[in-house]
Chain A
Amino acid sequence: MAAAALRRCLTRRQSIPRVSPLLPLTRLISDSTDPITIETSLPFKPHLIDPPSRSTTTTAAELASFFRTMLLMRRFEIAADSLYKSKLIRGFCHLYDGQEAVAVGMESSLTRRDAIITAYRDHCLYLARGGDPVSAFAELMGRKAGCARGKGGSMHFYKRDANFFGGHGIVGAQVPLGCGVAFAQRYRKEGTVTFDLYGDGAANQGQLFEALNMAALWKLPVVLVCENNHYGMGTAEWKASKSPAYYKRGDYVPGLKVDGMDVLAVKQACKFAKDHVLANGPIILEMDTYRYHGHSMSDPGSTYRTRDEIAGIRQERDPIERVRKLLLAHDFATAQELKDLEKEIRKEVDAAIAKAKESPMPDPSELFTNVYVNDCGLESFGVDRKVVRTVLP
């Protein structure tokens, strides 16, 4: 007790700068790297494996960075919502707000040499992998400065240098792709892993079980992560799956059920999973999470679930609020400092949107670029592949 109080005082003192009282105080959110131990909200539920401990270690700096990144993601998605309603974003737009803890917790347990692949709810995974909000907004608005040059759209965010493999529209099709990436990692003996994300809806795809079988056969370093937000578009999990215990569906593959709204639990589980798959082959992580928005912008999200349910989750389990409470309880920040941070993030996101809007639409010639590498589908080369013989229309 005394030690804790003393520690609190010390951290406070360390962060107060010596400034004249006439000048405004700079932000005092603690960046201490002293380890603290926090219990996860719920125990992990295991399948064919011994679960990791509920005690997680973190630091003030880490918690603060989790808070900041999740806030950025939350603001990004809300801003995308308004942009969609003002018709600057068209087509499909699937928002991730509510699920931020999964992206942030996962990223904190990995290196950029590890790979992540996901489905179409990919904006925040892109940001977690170091994606720039300007290029993300530009891609959503179909502009040249977009991360896929305006040619992919909301469902096709990729970042090759961060080993982020997208961004896929067809439900479940990314699961074998992720196993293929893990195959290449094993083939080249890289010692890295792939986190292969899919949803509760995709969990019933045959290709998932096909890929899981192969991953287990060849001990591929792949972690299959089921982001279970309990609704596959408008269909509740119990209406679509005979067994909604997705972490057990791997049968011979071990699994773990994790509270996906608790960023520290996610981080703990992902670290555990990474170590496991490097030695033993695949594992399934089921993240129990929730999306506040509907499936996409065309779905109000209230015809198949009650407003009370959504409000209840927001009240009890919101990932950002949980971290806010931790920061306040451990005196790593004051409520005002966190509010100021929110304002700062809001400005940052607005500035990113403004910058993205400046980018022009892609050139008409971009219609035909990147169909092939070297575009040889449009030009017929000679045998030496250097002389252009014919240009097709």
Chain B
Amino acid sequence: MKLDPTVCVLGEDVGHYGGSYKVTKGLAEMFGDLRVLDTPIAENSFTGMGVGAAMKGLRPVVEGMNMGFLLLAYNQISNNCGMLHYTSGGQFKVPLVIRGPGGVGRQLGAEHSQRLESYFQSIPGLQMVACSTPYNAKGLMKAAIRSENPVVLFEHVLLYNLKEKIPNEEYVLCLEEAEMVRPGEHVTILTYSRMRYHVLQAEKTLVNKGYDPEIIDIRSLKPFDLHTIGNSIKKTHRVLIVEECMRTGGIGASLRSAIIDNFWDYLDAPIMCLSSQDVPTPYAGTLEDATVAQPAQIVAAVEQICQ
């Protein structure tokens, strides 16, 4: 925001409250009420306003207090944000960033535990990225703001308290690139967002059992970084996808299909996909744990693939 005066933030309680997850803390004091705008609870129209402002030359960052609330703005995100560059024959661009926390938290209930990446993935014209560490959160956010395309940045409710040493110098990550978390030889594990940590937990057990998994955080949900993913599959010949999205129509489903289309000849085993169950997220803690993929299931899946 210091570098470019057209960058502004819009959302509920982003200004004086500092953001419901403190992401925008201190910004209103620094940049004023117009640049860090507290909106009323009107997702559909303030997302639409963000699109209109972007068409007129600003670079707004729209926050959904919880990603699930952005379902109210689906029309604006799909028809206006995603499609305007195309339907205007390239005249207008929409350099908007839509961000917010989503995913399954700690017993937040069904409506506050939604994963919208599967709903948005078909919208033409949108780019989607999911951050998972403080390092990539900063880099991807900077890249998203600089991008001329509309970008949806998926954060996760449980990851805001992570602490990590990050460089003081400016750095911008590539929106379309996946992150190699741990190189390996036996199996390619593709994951993103919070599931990265479940995979890393499973990794400890797997290494003890003698497996050598290659772990890739795909980060870019649309488009997929098929270059990094492909190179990995060419090496290991086995793929496990671990995601927090629902099984039906999720990111894993699309990724599986993209891998089959492009890398079928390199596969030695069917692609396995661990997703969340196709149920509304229950409140009870034990049931909630059962909706998402757990480290034990990841270990079992790897053992099955590597037979």
Contact = CB atoms under 8 A, between A and B. Distances in A.
Contact of B42 (A117, A210, A378, A380): A210
Interface residues of A, number: 61
Interface stretch (A290-298, A312-320, A367-375): A367-375
A156 B88 contact: yes
A167 B87 contact: yes
Interface stretch (B13-21, B46-54, B158-166): B46-54
Interface size class of chain B, counting residues whose CB lies under 8 Å from the partner chain: 35 or more
A182 to B, nearest CB: 8
B91 A389 contact: no
Given A392-B223, A392-B226, A188 B51 contact: no
B123 to A, nearest CB: 11
A210 B40 contact: yes
A180 B56 contact: yes
A380 B228 CA distance: 10
Contacts of B149: 372-374, 376-377
A382 B54 CA distance: 27
Interface stretch (A11-19, A144-152, A228-236, A327-335): A144-152
A173 interface: yes
B98 to A, nearest CB: 14
B85 A179 contact: no
Interface in B15-39: 34-35, 37, 39
A213 interface: yes
Interface string A174-209: 011111111111111000000000000000001100
B48 A370 contact: no
Q: Which of A146, A150, A160, A188 is most buried by chain B, counting CB atoms within 10 A of its CB?
A: A160
A115 B56 contact: yes
Nearest to B226: A390
A151 B89 contact: yes
Contacts of B222: 377
Contacts of A211: 42, 45, 48-49
A373 B91 CA distance: 10
Given A179-B49, A188-B58, A207-B45, 12 more contacts: A148-B89, A152-B88, A170-B75, A177-B49, A183-B58, A187-B58, A206-B44, A207-B44, A210-B44, A371-B125, A376-B149, A390-B230
Interface of A: 115, 117, 146-153, 156, 158-160, 165-170, 173, 175-188, 206-207, 210-211, 213-214, 217-218, 369-374, 376-378, 380-383, 385, 389-390, 392-393
